[in-house]
Amino acid sequence: MSWKTRKEVRMSRRRVSLRNLDQNYLSGPIPSFIGQLTGLTELHLGFNALSGPIPKELGNLTNLNLLGISLTNFTGELPEELGNLTKLQQLYTSSAGLSGPFPSTFSKLKNLKLLRSSDNDFTGKIPDYIGSLTNLEDLILRNCKISGDLGAVDFSKFVDLTFLFLGNNSLTGGLPDGISPSLTNLNLVANNFVLGSNKNGILPLGLNCLQKDTPCFRNYSFAVDCGSNRSIRGSDNTMYEMDSTNLGDSSYYVTSQTRWGVSNVGKLFQSPNDSKIIYSNETIQNAMDSELFQTARMSPSSLRYFGLGLENGNYTVVLQFAELGYPDSQTWQSLGRRVFDIYIQGSLKEKNFNIRKMAGGKSFTKVSKSYTTIVSKNFLEIHLFWAGKGTCCIPIQGYYGPLISALSVTPNFVPSVRNGARKRKSKACAMAGIGASILGLAALIGIFVLIKKRKTMLQQQEDLGLHNLLRRPYVFNYIELKLATDHFSPENIIGEGGYGQVYKGKLIDGRLIAVKQLSQSSHQGKSQFVTEVATISTVQHRNLVKLHGCYTDSNTPLLVYEYLENGSLDGALFGDVSLNLDWPTRFEIILGIARGLTYLHEESNVRIVHRDIKASNVLLDTDLTPKISDFGLAKFYDEKKTHVSTTKIAGTFGYLAPEYAMKGHLTAKADVFAFGVVTLETIAGRSNTDNSLEESKIYLLKWAWHLYEKEDALGIVDPRLEVFNSKEALRVIHVALLCT
C-alpha cells in the first residue's frame, strides 16, 4: 500500500492512525507533505515497513501530544526539529531502525510523560537533560547502546516515574539514589554499574549478577523448564530447574544459586492477573520429555535468559518450543500467528520464527533448535524478541509475543569449574579409587613436585617482572580501558597475532588508543609482556610507536599504545587499505624505518635488537609517518660483545637473517637484514613470498638479485607507480640488497 492512497487526509482531522498490525504494510518514506497537517494531536505510524529518514517536517506538527513510529524501518537520527513538539506527551520510537545520539532539542519536551525508544542503535551518553523532564512517568530505553553515568541523573525530581527500563546498555557509575518509592517497575539488567553504591535500599536482589561483566559464580551449564514450578530430570539426565516466578510488566528474576536469570518486557492488556506463564495438559507430539512442555514462559515483547558466571568457551544452546497458546481448531484461536526473532549473544539466529510453522502447521508439537556460541566474558544472553510480526489481539493484545518451553546450555569442552557445591563421591567408590590409584600416585608425586617447583619459580619471576613495571609506564584502570573499547567489543578489533588481539579505543579525554591484550593461550606469556613494556618504555623516538601505559592486575595484561589511523604497512602495500602510496611517500617511509632502527641500534641509552622487523610491525600515522611497533621479542645487547646467543630463534620466516636462523647468533644485523626485505616489499608493493606468481618471482629477494645481476634492478618496482625517481629507486634497491 502506497502513501498516495492516504494523501486525501483532511487538514482538519485531529487524529490520524496508520498503525498496521496485519500484512498490508505501508512502505517507503514518509512524504514531506505530512508537515502540513498542523491540526493533528495524535499520529500513529508504527507497525509498518516505512523506510528512509524521518522527515524534519514532523517538527511542524506543534499540536501533537502523541507520536508513534515504533517497529518501522527508518534510518538515520531523530531530527532535531522534533524538539519543537513542546506539547508532546507520548513518544514511541522503539525498534524504528534509528541511530546516532538523542537530539539536544529534546530538552524542550517538558510535557513528555512517556518516552519509549528501545531497540535502536543510538550512540553516545544518556542525555544530561533527562533529569529535567520531570513529568516522565515511563522511561524505556532498553537495548539502545547508550552509555554514561546513570548515577549523575537526579531522579529525585521524577515524582511520577513508575516505569524505568534501561537494561542492555553500557551504563556505568552508581545507581541513582533519588528513585521515587512509587517506581514499581525497574529493570536495569546487563549494564556496567558500580554496585553497592545506592543508599535508598530499593536495589532489587540479583541485579549485581545481571551486570555484563560481573560474574557472580563460576558455572559451566544450566537448564530451565520455563514456567514450571518444579525441577524435572530429562531423559538425557539433564536437570531442568523450575522457572515459576511470575514476572511483571518489566522485571527480572535471578536464581538463588545465581546460575541464570530471566528478564521480561511488555504488558498483556485486559489480562486479570497479567500472567506470563501458559499452562497446558495436552499431549505434546515428538517429545520424549512431555513434562517439559506442560508450561511455557511468554512475553508480549522481549524475553531474555542470561547465563551467569559461565566458564569461558564454546557452548551448545538448545531451545525447545511447542505452541500452547493457539490450539489447532476451527475456533477464533486458530487464527493466531506467533512470530518472533531469536538472538544468541546478540547474533540473529532466526528471523520471523514461527513455532507452529516449524512444526508443520501443528500446535502441541515439539520444535527444537540447537546453536553453538562463544562465552568470552562469563555471560550468556538468549534473546527472544517480538519485532511486530504476526497477529494483534488474539485472544488479547500482547498474547502474540515469544514463547519458550525449555532451554539448556552445555559446554563443548571439559570444564575446570563445578556447578554449585563441590561433588562428593560415595564412601565405597572412594575406597575402591584409593586402592587403584595409590601406586600411581606414589610414582608421579616426585615428578609433580619438581614440575610444580619449576612452575612456581617461573611464575614468581614473571609476577616480579610485572610488579617492577608499575614504576615505569602509566598504569591504567581496567574499567576505563573496558569503557574505552566498548567492553572489548569484537567490532573494535583492529589486529590479531600470536600475542593476542588489539582493540581500538577512545579514552574519556578523547585520545584514541590501541589496546593490546595478552591472550591466556599465548605461548609468549607474561615474559614477553614484560619485555615489551620494559623495552618501549625505555626509548622514545618519532619513528617508534608511543606507549601510553599498561594494565597488569589480570591473567590477561593490557598494553595501551597510541592509535595510528592508517594501520600497518603491509595493509597499505598489499592489503585492502586504499592509501595513495606514491614514490615520495614510500621513500619517506623507508627512511623513517631506517631512522627508527638507527636510534635503537646506536643512539638510545640502551642498545636494542627488535628481532621482528616486518611490514606488519610498521604502523602509519595520519601523515603516513612510519612507526616501528611490537617489541615483545626485543633483546638488549652489549655492543662490546660480538653477538648474543639465543636458545630459541624468534622472528618471522622471510625476514630472518641466515646467520641468526642457522646459528642463533643475534646482532643488530638481524634487524638490518629484515629492513632490507621490508624495503624491497615497499618498492615492489608485494610481500616477500607470493606463491600465486610464476616460479621465478615467488621469492622477492631471489627475484630482485636475479634482476640486479641482469642490470634490470628497476624491474621489481611496483607497476602501480607510474611516476617515480629512477635514481632514488635504484639507490634504495642497492641499499636493500646490501642489507640482505
Residue of 476, 725, 471, 694 whose CA lies nearest to 585: 725
Q: Is residue 612 annotated as part of the catalytic site, yes or no? A: yes
Residue of 237, 265, 258, 552 whose CA lies nearest to 386: 265
Say if residue 473's pLDDT is above 80. Answer: no
- The pLDDT of residue 235 is 86
**Omega before 395 within 30 of 0, i.e. cis:** yes
**Do residues 54 and 80 make contact, with C-beta atoms less than 8 angstroms apart?**
no
- The pLDDT of residue 272 is 40
Q: What average pLDDT does the segment 652-681 reach?
A: 85
Which is higher by pLDDT, 186 or 316?
Answer: 316
Confidence of residue 584 (pLDDT cuts 50, 70, 90): very high
- The pLDDT of residue 698 is 92
> Residue 284: CB partners within 8 Å, gap ≥ 6?
290, 293, 322, 364, 365, 366
- The pLDDT of residue 276 is 79
- The pLDDT of residue 248 is 57
Q: What average pLDDT does the segment 337-343 reach?
A: 92
Residue 383 pairs in a beta bridge with: 304, 343
Rg over alpha carbons for the chain, rounded to the nearest Å, is 32
- To the nearest whole percent, how much of the chain has pLDDT over 90? 31
> Residue 509: CB partners within 8 Å, gap ≥ 6?
none
Cα–Cα separations (whole angstroms), residue 148 to 76, 136, 166, 194, 329? 22, 20, 12, 12, 51
Cα–Cα separations (whole angstroms), residue 608 to 498, 536, 549, 600? 22, 10, 20, 5
Say if residue 283's pLDDT is above 80. Answer: yes
Q: What average pLDDT does the segment 129-150 reach?
A: 87
**Which pairing describes strands 114-116 and 138-140: parallel, antiparallel, or unpaired?**
parallel
Classify 15 as helix, strand or coil.
strand
If one counts every other C-beta atom within 10 angstroms of the C-beta of residue 616, the result is 19
Cα–Cα separations (whole angstroms), residue 462 to 81, 473, 530? 59, 17, 8
Say if residue 509's pLDDT is above 80. Answer: no
Cα–Cα separations (whole angstroms), residue 372 to 345, 347, 384? 10, 11, 16
Backbone φ, ψ for residue 100 (5° rounding): 80, 180
Which entry of 138, 612, 630, 718 is annotated as an active-site residue? 612
Q: What average pLDDT does the segment 505-534 reach?
A: 72
- Measure the CA dihedral 288/292/294/299, to 10°: -130
> Residue 355: CB partners within 8 Å, gap ≥ 6?
321, 322, 323, 338, 367, 403
- To the nearest whole percent, how much of the chain has pLDDT over 70? 75
Q: Is 194 exposed, middle or buried (0-12, 13-18, 19+ CB in 10 A)?
A: middle
Q: What average pLDDT does the segment 230-237 reach?
A: 88
The domains found in the chain, sorted by start residue, are 3-209 (3.80.10.10), 222-411 (2.60.120.430), 466-563 (3.30.200.20), 570-740 (1.10.510.10)
Distance of CA 534 to the CA centre of its chain: 31
If one counts every other C-beta atom within 10 angstroms of the C-beta of residue 482, the result is 21
- The pLDDT of residue 196 is 57
Q: What average pLDDT does the segment 464-472 reach?
A: 41
- The pLDDT of residue 468 is 43
- The pLDDT of residue 384 is 94
Mind listing the pLDDT tens digit for each residue in 9-21? Answer: 444 457 666 665 4
Helix, strand, coil percent content, the chain, rounded in steps of 5: 25, 25, 50
Confidence of residue 247 (pLDDT cuts 50, 70, 90): low
- The pLDDT of residue 334 is 60
Say if residue 460's pLDDT is above 80. Answer: no
Q: Is 516 annotated as a binding residue?
A: yes
